[in-house]
Structure 1
């Protein structure tokens, strides 16, 4: 759809307030995900997992700040795709969104795969693939109903997660026998271990993708210029704090980091802390966390696809429309679910290698977008305060993100670069070999009038419009 089209574009309905937004982001991050890579990153960093999380959190907070700055100017669905499109143009925007989709498309698949693995371990008579498909269908149904319903489910999941983590921290603290002088050794790496920390932090960046997911809810949030930036920072800080706390307490119980199987170190750590009952409770909450993470990650990527379809960069008839009853992007949700069916065919190692390349590349573009938009664009300001918050901080975010990006494995780069090449080909076809500008829709969302409207769509709130 071109910018001259007079037909009103479909818009999502504003139903989310700050608590629901933060819960959405934390469920995406899934605090129990700390146990997924606990043994792997712990071994890679020489037992300094908490330090790796501190480094990852510092980098993510810088980038979260940049997302918050961009949401203030462009409170619309689309995330990094929308920001880079508005600041750098349609071609760069498309490639940024395409690269980011590599992670978002495979994140639900990884969650379904993990849910299948753990449920199959508990009920070996049912094949792993069956559990994965059942979880997929459940998540798809929840997301079709709508994001307000999803927010209620995420509250339940986060409640169960909070109870599990609180019990774990209490039991682990009681079992710790580390001398007082060594309590914080896991935070202090040797001078020759910083490169190992960077590699570990690059893997852990996957755990922080929840704050990016929050930015995709801008069209469904009340007063998005305030709630979404605050939700992004709170999600990043709270999630990162939980990751660091759990990793540190775990290091106090098992300072040797010597697990039988690094892939299942979380379950082994739980047995060490609380025996079989704790291990069973962990499995139940972990599967709930996988389903919750898949649910919100599917909701997030479907809104990016919807935004690109609405702009005409993907087939609009399929991806750029909302379901008239539920007001949700059903076409995009089905597409994401179809890709997630790969969870019945791929191994966990094969799936994980596809993650992080696109996210870190997109994070870099968001940091650059802040600098260009606020220091050289229409909102140009060169005051000392602006140079700090729109220049220095996003500049540090860009540099640190690139540092983590270059710490990824060679196999990850191969997969990522091939995916980018496919995007370039698709963009060339869409623009007739770059002789035409990519279609761009005037969102009507950059001014102060943020009143939503989806003619004929099912509305999930009776609240007054937000101005």
Structure 2
């Protein structure tokens, strides 16, 4: 029904902006020290490897988004290609990711703000951050888009300023080598690939743009392009910034790897500049909070609309703002959970759902090929080989998670199996299906057989 549909108001630029804000461009400044230590001083190469690795999965997301131009992301793709029960479990797994990511974003933001303004406790910043982003998202996607763009551009501007100041510093402090940051005597393939699993975390969220399909103009073309652009642009930023930082501080010897961006800012620009660098992280964090909550609420809305979650609560849109207000309030309420968790604990288990979803989407492309190979001219390299490589990579990333994250993620998955059994009355009832305006299989663009995103 029309009143149950989100209005289409987002173009390609807006969708890409949401994806980049979700990833937070300044995150590379925070992760640089950790990645440099793990890769023995080859952070730029590590970020480049992570970019290339995740592009395999990004192309799979683009392929599925072109064929199924609706919200729901991996949840929708898995239901259509792997079957309703498996689709439900994929949706349940990424619910762990999407439901808790806003909480992690607010917690990270609150820690940064508390460091800048220690007189205000972290719990108070949690309430402020959750309240502000929830209010903006409830007001409507147009306002959220405008605020998000302003925050994103400010964040990128401060990252560019950081790079420029570093370059001026390098004029007077010539690096001993311009190639050591890429590969040096201490670098090994094992170290770089292991560090790439960490660097890949900085890309989490690029898939979230697929949840905006119902609000995008011409989603069959906009969403696939946005997925690829977000990964590519993010990869360029991460590789470029990390290379400049590696020239300023080569090697992998850091007293505090997590805080290297602050100390490097002091080194190249002084105290005032270091404060501005910290501001970049805060601004990026606000934009990320906004984008994370928006995409999370859309997934809850789609699952509520399908009856997987209570429809009366999650599957309703506000008549005036045309936003899923109750889903937004549910994600906003997660800030109370975050008050009782450490950042390490909070971030430890959400990646389980993300990597599981990435693997499922790659397998969905293969399943689509097997189902339609006789009726459509599908390229076996694009629809089988590349997705299988992507699935292998994401399974490797999943295996690199901490044992606690694997335990919590597995427990959540088992809980989902129990809920599915109850929901279907021990599979005597069908798993709730998506209600689409058209058959998704008929929505495939004419360019699908060639393999290029629409």
| Structure-2-length-normalised TM-score | 0.92
Structure 2 partner of 1:392: 385
Q: 2:365 aligned to 361, 370, 376, which one?
A: 370
Structure 1 partner of 2:446: none
Question: Which deviations, in whole Å up to 9, do the C-alpha atoms of 1:268-302 show, x marking residues without a partner?
Answer: 22222211122111222211111111111111111
Q: 2:231 aligned to 233, 236, 253, which one?
A: 236
1:449–1:395 Cα change, 3 Å:
closer
Distance in 1 of aligned mates of 2:142 and 2:373: 34
Between the two proteins, the alignment pairs up a number of residues equal to 441
How much has 1:446 moved relative to structure 2? Answer: 4.1
Which 5+ residue runs of structure 2 have no aligned equivalent?
444-454
**Is 1:345 the equivalent of 2:340?**
yes
Structure 1 partner of 2:326: 331
| Structure-1-length-normalised TM-score | 0.89
The answer as to whether partners of 1:106 and 1:354 remain within 8 angstroms in 2 is: no
Distance in 1 of aligned mates of 2:28 and 2:213: 27
Structure 1 partner of 2:449: none
Q: 1:47 aligned to 41, 51, 60, which one?
A: 41
Structure 2 partner of 1:312: 307
How much has 1:161 moved relative to structure 2? Answer: 1.6
The answer as to whether partners of 2:71 and 2:213 remain within 8 angstroms in 1 is: yes
Distance in 2 of aligned mates of 1:96 and 1:447: 19
The answer as to whether partners of 1:210 and 1:236 remain within 8 angstroms in 2 is: no
How much has 1:179 moved relative to structure 2? Answer: 4.4
Question: Which deviations, in whole Å up to 9, do the C-alpha atoms of 1:18-66 show, x marking residues without a partner?
Answer: 1111111111111011123222222222222222211211121111111
Which is worse superposed, 242-251 or 268-277?
268-277
Question: Which deviations, in whole Å up to 9, do the C-alpha atoms of 1:404-455 show, x marking residues without a partner?
Answer: 22222222211211111111111111111223221113312446999xxxxx
1:141–1:103 Cα change, 3 Å:
same
Distance in 1 of aligned mates of 2:374 and 2:233: 32
How much has 1:67 moved relative to structure 2? Answer: 0.6
1:215–1:432 Cα change, 3 Å:
same
The 5 A counterparts of 1:217-228 are: 217-228=212-223
Question: Which deviations, in whole Å up to 9, do the C-alpha atoms of 1:161-209 show, x marking residues without a partner?
Answer: 22212211122123234546x3122222669733333332222222212
Structure 1 partner of 2:422: 429
Q: 1:408 aligned to 397, 401, 413, which one?
A: 401
Alpha-carbon RMSD across the aligned residues, in angstroms, is 2.1
The 5 A counterparts of 1:247-266 are: 247-266=242-261
Distance in 2 of aligned mates of 1:79 and 1:190: 43
How much has 1:86 moved relative to structure 2? Answer: 0.9
**Is 1:172 the equivalent of 2:166?**
yes
Distance in 2 of aligned mates of 1:323 and 1:193: 55
Q: 1:160 aligned to 147, 150, 154, which one?
A: 154
Distance in 1 of aligned mates of 2:420 and 2:435: 20
How much has 1:243 moved relative to structure 2? Answer: 0.7
Q: SS where residue 437 of structure 1 aligns?
A: coil
How much has 1:110 moved relative to structure 2? Answer: 1.7
Q: SS where residue 40 of structure 2 aligns?
A: coil
